[in-house]
Structure 1
Amino acid sequence: MELVAGCYEQVLFGFAARPGQPWTVTPDFTHHAHTASLSAVAVNNKYVVTGSRDESIQIYDMRKKVEHGALLQHNGTITCLEFYGTAHLLSGAEDGLICIWNTKRWECLKSIKAHKGHVTSLSIHPSGKLALSVGTDKTLRTWNLVEGRSAFIKNLKQNAHIIKWSPDGEKYVTVITNKVDIYKLDTASITGTITIEKRISSIRFITDSVLAIAGDDEIIRFYSCDSQKCLCEFKAHENRIKDIYSFEREGQHLIVTASSDGYIKVWNLDLNKIKNVPSLLCEVNTKARLTCLAVWLDQASEMKENCEKTATTTQANEDENPSVDKKKEVCGTNKSGKLTKQHRKIVPAKRKLEAPLQKKKKKQNSSE
């Protein structure tokens, strides 16, 4: 597996982490594609994408270890990125837009004016049919991704800066400063609230009912969503924690943390002993001010997860495909029916990719 983290110093780091006695972490690559600090990172089974204050989304092919290109649809800092499966990416930014990307051709299928202010966070339902977003207009919005339209708007008393679905899709949480509100999907009402002393910087569902919370301090806390009680807390870093990532691999439940102290750490959590402090498996000092984190899993370790999601993903794709084609016609074309540059700005990383694009353009012009 590969630990990938962005930082203020405009670099994406990649570290290969291998299980063993002890675990080993070795530098694998650095990606210098941005001209400003990195603000978001997301992974699927092939790509890592990064968002930045330079208003661009950079694509990195993890299998080939090469730059793949850039997406330049947004105006403003990229605030959030999330893949759904292997075919779609959602991005949000300070321009108030949410963009839906096809990751096969890297086309913008839909550009939605989601919020009057900035989009601060978004989260895709496990079914792929719904998404939630929050912004600086004090609203929480539900999106029907099958039809590409707004489904519901809820007014909030304050601006939320994080939103997240639970793995089973039956609940979701919003974060407002130092407070986590837990919502039930079927009623869209708050069932509980968790409050900590510091501003919350990152949250992650460990299970459907256990939430990991990192604030602007060195502590990670595990909370029960049902009782809203703290199950465990421990000092993970020497400075504030910026991001948390969690996943299962070979029977272990692993948590990865990134901090302003420059360290990325991998922890082993025993879900049967959730009140015990996780054991530290390995750590690496990036010597940078980290801002965001993700973990890329190789195809072998992805296989199990993909098999478990086959039934729901297949059904969701069957439901979405007709609508995706329709959205491509509306959003990816101009009035004359031709693809517009504004909706498909890609900067190829390799010069040899430029020739086919130019030939295609000449062919289109000649057909006019």
Structure 2
Amino acid sequence: MELVAGCYEQVLFGFAARPAESWTVVPDFTHHAHSASLSAVAVNNRYVVTGSRDETIQIYDMKKKVEHGALLQHNGTITCLEFYGTAHLLSGAEDGLICIWNTKRWECLKSIKAHKGQVTSLSIHPSGKLALSVGTDKTLRFLRNIECKKSVYTNVSCTDAHIIKWSPDGERYVTVITNKVDIYKLDTASITGTITTEKRISSLRFITDSVLVIAGDDEIIRFYSCDSQKCLCEFKAHENRIKGIYSFEREGQHVIVTASSDGYIKMWNLDLNKIKDVPSLLCEVSTKARLTCLAVWLDQASEMKENSEKAATSSQANEDEKLSIVKKKKGCLTDKSDKTAERKRKITPKKQKLEAPLQKKKKKRNSSA
């Protein structure tokens, strides 16, 4: 697996995370990704994409460790990126557009004027059939029929939210307004509870269908129950404000990854059966940069092979079931193309190998030869 993080210094970092008796994180590559600071990052089972203030989306093929190209559809800072399965990517930007990309051919299927101001956050429903977005025009908008060319956007409500997120089961969604989290029920679109913190919230993620991990303009990580709105646990994770949170499961172990303006990326072991206990620190690494965004790329091919071997000896079928669900979900979005948007999109054909931190000289020798 690979920890990928962007920073103000225009660099994309890659760190290989190696689980063993004790976790280790080692530098894998650094890449001067953009001509301005990085603002967003997203991953699927093959690609990492980054958005920047330079108005471009850069694509990296993690299987081959090369820069795959650039998408130039937006005008303005790329503010949010989210994959749906293996075939589609949604992007939002300062220009108020949400673009739906086919990741097989990297073409823009449609470009929708979602907000009068900039898009600040978007989230795709687990079914892949709809999405929510919020923007600086103080609206929360509902995109229906994503799989059709005639997508319908509905103005759900007026809100100053800057973050929106679906729960894993799709039964609820949350919005963040400065330091307040409003919890909505899908079937009624009504607020069922509110969580308030002391500082502005910059990152939020569902750990389970009903547990949120929240971080912001302080050094504290907090876990909250969506049902009771009570704080289940809190602890000091960094020396400066926290800019990104990511989570994943591996072999029954739930891992939280955090990135901070102090330059550190840290991995924590969370015991869901003892959610009130402070997570234990697995490992940490210093980037010596001002981090802005974070994601974790998982090599699903290796994961599938490992799971299949275990299933043969211990009859564990849960992982195979999860993988089959993921494969089915990717068909919820179709490949129908918006020809106008397709003409505007551009992919740079040049492929540049991601550079290992200690192999710069070697690369220069190879290029001169």
TM-score by length of 2: 0.88
The amino acid across from 2:275 in the alignment is: I
State the alpha-carbon separation in 1 of the partners of residues 153 and 142 from structure 2.
5
State the alpha-carbon separation in 1 of the partners of residues 92 and 320 from structure 2.
26
SS of the residue corresponding to residue 324 of structure 2 reads: helix
State the alpha-carbon separation in 1 of the partners of residues 57 and 37 from structure 2.
12
Matched pairs, number:
337
Distance 1:155 1:235, change over 3 A: same
Aligned to 2:97: 97
5+ residue gaps, structure 1: 352-368
SS of the residue corresponding to residue 80 of structure 1 reads: strand
The 4+ residue runs of structure 1 with deviation greater than 6 A are: none
Aligned to 2:142: 142
Q: CA deviation at 1:250?
A: 1.1
Distance 1:300 1:307, change over 3 A: farther
Q: CA deviation at 1:122?
A: 0.2
Distance 1:65 1:315, change over 3 A: closer
Residues 51-90 of structure 1, C-alpha deviations (whole Å, 9 max, x = no match): 0000000001111111100000000000000000000000
Q: CA deviation at 1:174?
A: 0.3
| Higher relative contact order, structure no. (Cα contacts within 8 Å, ≥ 6 residues apart) | 2
Aligned to 1:24: 24
Aligned to 2:260: 259
CA contact (8 A) 1:258 1:290 kept: yes
CA contact (8 A) 1:141 1:150 kept: no
State the alpha-carbon separation in 1 of the partners of residues 302 and 274 from structure 2.
25
Distance 1:129 1:64, change over 3 A: same
CA contact (8 A) 2:85 2:330 kept: no
Aligned to 2:41: 41
State the alpha-carbon separation in 1 of the partners of residues 333 and 187 from structure 2.
22
Whether 1:332 and 2:330 are equivalent positions in the alignment is no
Aligned to 1:310: 324
Q: CA deviation at 1:320?
A: 3.8
Aligned to 2:86: 86
The amino acid across from 2:156 in the alignment is: K
State the alpha-carbon separation in 2 of the partners of residues 136 and 234 from structure 1.
32
Q: How does 1:150-229 map to 2 (within 5 A)?
A: 150-156=152-158, 158-229=159-230
Q: How does 1:254-293 map to 2 (within 5 A)?
A: 254-293=255-294
State the alpha-carbon separation in 2 of the partners of residues 119 and 302 from structure 1.
34
CA contact (8 A) 1:127 1:312 kept: no
CA contact (8 A) 1:127 1:313 kept: no
Q: CA deviation at 1:233?
A: 0.2
State the alpha-carbon separation in 2 of the partners of residues 54 and 258 from structure 1.
22
Distance 1:202 1:15, change over 3 A: same
Residues 218-272 of structure 1, C-alpha deviations (whole Å, 9 max, x = no match): 0000000000000000000000000100110111000000000000000000000
Aligned to 1:107: 107
Q: How does 1:68-83 map to 2 (within 5 A)?
A: 68-83=68-83
Q: CA deviation at 1:298?
A: 1.1
Distance 1:348 1:135, change over 3 A: same
Distance 1:239 1:199, change over 3 A: same
Distance 1:16 1:140, change over 3 A: same
Aligned to 1:14: 14
CA contact (8 A) 2:133 2:140 kept: yes
Distance 1:66 1:315, change over 3 A: closer
SS of the residue corresponding to residue 69 of structure 1 reads: strand
Aligned to 1:233: 234
State the alpha-carbon separation in 1 of the partners of residues 349 and 60 from structure 2.
11
Q: CA deviation at 1:22?
A: 2.1
Aligned to 1:362: none
Q: CA deviation at 1:151?
A: 4.3
Distance 1:206 1:301, change over 3 A: farther
SS of the residue corresponding to residue 35 of structure 1 reads: coil
**Could you tell me the percent identity over the aligned residues?**
81
SS of the residue corresponding to residue 281 of structure 1 reads: strand
TM-score by length of 1: 0.88
Q: Give the RMSD, CA atoms, in angstroms.
A: 1.6
Q: CA deviation at 1:313?
A: 4.9
Q: CA deviation at 1:311?
A: 4.0
Whether 1:127 and 2:127 are equivalent positions in the alignment is yes
CA contact (8 A) 1:129 1:316 kept: no
5+ residue gaps, structure 2: 308-318, 353-369
State the alpha-carbon separation in 1 of the partners of residues 180 and 5 from structure 2.
26
State the alpha-carbon separation in 2 of the partners of residues 320 and 196 from structure 1.
37
State the alpha-carbon separation in 2 of the partners of residues 164 and 61 from structure 1.
26
